[in-house]
Structure 1
């Protein structure tokens, strides 16, 4: 990787850039990211001003390496716990080596290390092999003779035989997509030890394909008892190849850029959704879909119909024979341990409570991250006719493993 100037900024921060620090191709890349709400690039009198939104990670441009750091102080190993939990992938084992420390490549090295560990396990246990059809020309018959090719290309001569063979090989898509992901990780990693290990394990895999072909193959792969052990490695490979889960963000426009970008609000929503799902299962409830006929819709206005959909709609069993109740919950990637709940969020939760609560006062829940502890407070919304709603604001400890939080949520809310 050529030397590039490292520019660091936090979420929602902005930095000035000289006009010659961005090439025209870089400007196109950043505008593509801007259309997805990841960054904002604007021209000013001195050059450019780049503002980070709620997406963190690393983006390698022609002359710059942008590192967007999260506004929450989440340690690297704990971030991997949350990321693995949200993706449903096993958390890589702790290693006393350099692997779990973030460096100039930020979170890209963390995901690359997770992929590396899973690939090392696969190589150690032996890569999966399957029967692959090959068309070859050899002096000795092996497999099935291709009579048509022999007649049309060799004109009946038997010194070289056209054959179709089926041999068990490792050159299958299960392995090929990992080879592509390993080579992608190499381009994002500058730490010598990690790069050396990635290069070493990549040699055990077949030739890499293009990232687009690998992503298409990952979408086609179905897991059976023969390849179930590949699921975790494929999860981390997909994260790297998609640049953090935003499907072909730059490739769709024919623009190539190396990077790993994690949309933190989406990650937080995924974590909360799984936390609530597991909590509901322990208490006889379930997560109900909040869309379709169960959604809150607005009709009759100008334009298309709009909808209100909570991040999670929890369906709970009734007590003493009463009907089952619905509890809307919304994941907010905000520091509500330091700031009061915004009026917009109160209005949003009031709408959810009015739409889904079967009894008065209505109820709804905000779930926010809280480094180093847990918190629960109640907001009471009153009107001249009485109490409208009780809103629960709960903070989840981001320093603890999410599985430790499931019981606490149940004791607090249910």
Structure 2
């Protein structure tokens, strides 16, 4: 990989670039990322200004290598623990030794993929039966009579055969080989690069990264390949450039990089935190988030819907003493609600959720936001001329703690 000028900035920070540091191709790629809300590129008299939004990761351009480190919510040494928690995959054993240095988030994900791939190699790669056609000097498998007659009629020194053998060259393994190769282009650590190169040589590779990603998206896990799930999780992350289907909204970038959308990560974290917190108390998450949602019809254009990030169903009692389940809408907010008040727009949004889902007697909803430095809880009461309109519980989750500790805390304070 050619030497590139390192440019390091934090989440929500900006950096100046000289005119010659960005090629025309770089500008086009950055404009695409800007349209997706990852960053902002503006032209200045002395060059360019690149500002990161709620995004962390690594972006490899033609002449510069941009490293965006987490600054706001989740400390760098905890990022992988929370990411693994959101993805539902085991935390890598070396997580406590990792820190966001010059190579940043990309090296962390590459090391996590490498650890899982090396485990698979120790256990032995999965093999499956693969059909192949080949020309052999002796008969193996079945003779392909049609090919033999049309291509080597009367000749028996070369036989067209069809075989059905167990091989490691299958989609489960090819996807990992492609991901290991992609990780090589992102890391600058010589030791990690050597280990990735050695592991990549032991795996077959797909024709293209896109083909590997398509294979991962259609993978169904059974008892035969369930041990591949953690490795495939990290492979998806690398091959998509940071986005994960059903978890993170980013569908990849046009530049070589690994970018993680922090608001989407926080939404995934809150969904799992809330689900695990209410489980022991007989609650569960409503499948699909919120069913049909709150719909708005009759306006210009198509109908719109409102859905909270998480809708919890909990056991309760009706006014006449009979058992009745209640719904609790929960919304993840990647905002500094540990430093300033809840915005009017978010109050209106949560009131809509409580009106549409919660009971009339208890119009309750919850905001969950990251709060480095300890958990916090406060309650907002919204009143009108006719009385109480809604109650909004604002929960600040301590991101310096472990996800398991956060689940215990939420379970104890959840209304």
Do the structures match in fold with TM over 0.5? Answer: yes
Partner Cα distance (1:282, 1:126) in 2: 38
In the TM superposition, what is the alpha-carbon distance from 1:301 to its structure 2 partner?
2.6
Find the partner of 1:249 among 223, 232, 252: 252
In the TM superposition, what is the alpha-carbon distance from 1:94 to its structure 2 partner?
2.7
1:405 aligns with 2:406: yes
Which range moves more in the overlay, 284-293 or 221-230? 284-293
Deviations 1:237-266 (A, max 9, x none): 00100011156533xxxx4x2110000000
Change (3 A) 1:208 1:307: closer
- 1:92-111 equivalences in 2 (<5 Å): 92-94=92-94, 100-111=98-109
1:216 aligns with 2:194: no
Partner of 1:87: 87
1:366 aligns with 2:367: yes
Cα contact 1:33–1:249 (8 A) shared by 2: no
Partner of 2:29: 29
Cα contact 1:186–1:198 (8 A) shared by 2: yes
Partner of 2:182: 184
- In structure 2, runs of 5+ residues without a counterpart are 244-248
Cα contact 1:132–1:167 (8 A) shared by 2: yes
> Counterpart of 1:84 in 2: which secondary structure?
helix
Partner Cα distance (2:53, 2:32) in 1: 14
Q: How many residues get paired?
A: 406
Partner Cα distance (1:3, 1:25) in 2: 18
Partner of 2:9: 9
Which range moves more in the overlay, 266-275 or 329-338? 329-338
Partner Cα distance (1:265, 1:74) in 2: 11
1:263 aligns with 2:261: yes
Cα contact 2:174–2:203 (8 A) shared by 1: yes
Change (3 A) 1:85 1:348: same
Partner Cα distance (1:395, 1:359) in 2: 26
Give the TM-score taking structure 1 as reference length: 0.93
Partner of 2:246: none
Partner Cα distance (1:220, 1:137) in 2: 32
Give the TM-score taking structure 2 as reference length: 0.93
- 1:332-411 equivalences in 2 (<5 Å): 332-360=333-361, 362-411=363-412
1:196 aligns with 2:197: no
Which range moves more in the overlay, 297-306 or 159-168? 297-306
Cα contact 2:176–2:205 (8 A) shared by 1: no
Partner Cα distance (2:345, 2:10) in 1: 24
- 1:211-360 equivalences in 2 (<5 Å): 211-245=209-243, 248-250=251-253, 255=254, 257-288=255-286, 289-293=288-292, 295-319=293-317, 320-360=321-361
Partner of 1:140: 138
In the TM superposition, what is the alpha-carbon distance from 1:159 to its structure 2 partner?
1.2
Partner Cα distance (2:96, 2:371) in 1: 27
Cα contact 1:177–1:209 (8 A) shared by 2: no
In the TM superposition, what is the alpha-carbon distance from 1:321 to its structure 2 partner?
2.2
Partner of 1:126: 124
In the TM superposition, what is the alpha-carbon distance from 1:96 to its structure 2 partner?
7.5
Deviations 1:242-296 (A, max 9, x none): 011156533xxxx4x2110000000000010011111222111222245453x22
In the TM superposition, what is the alpha-carbon distance from 1:47 to its structure 2 partner?
2.6
Partner Cα distance (1:93, 1:226) in 2: 24
Partner Cα distance (1:361, 1:290) in 2: 20
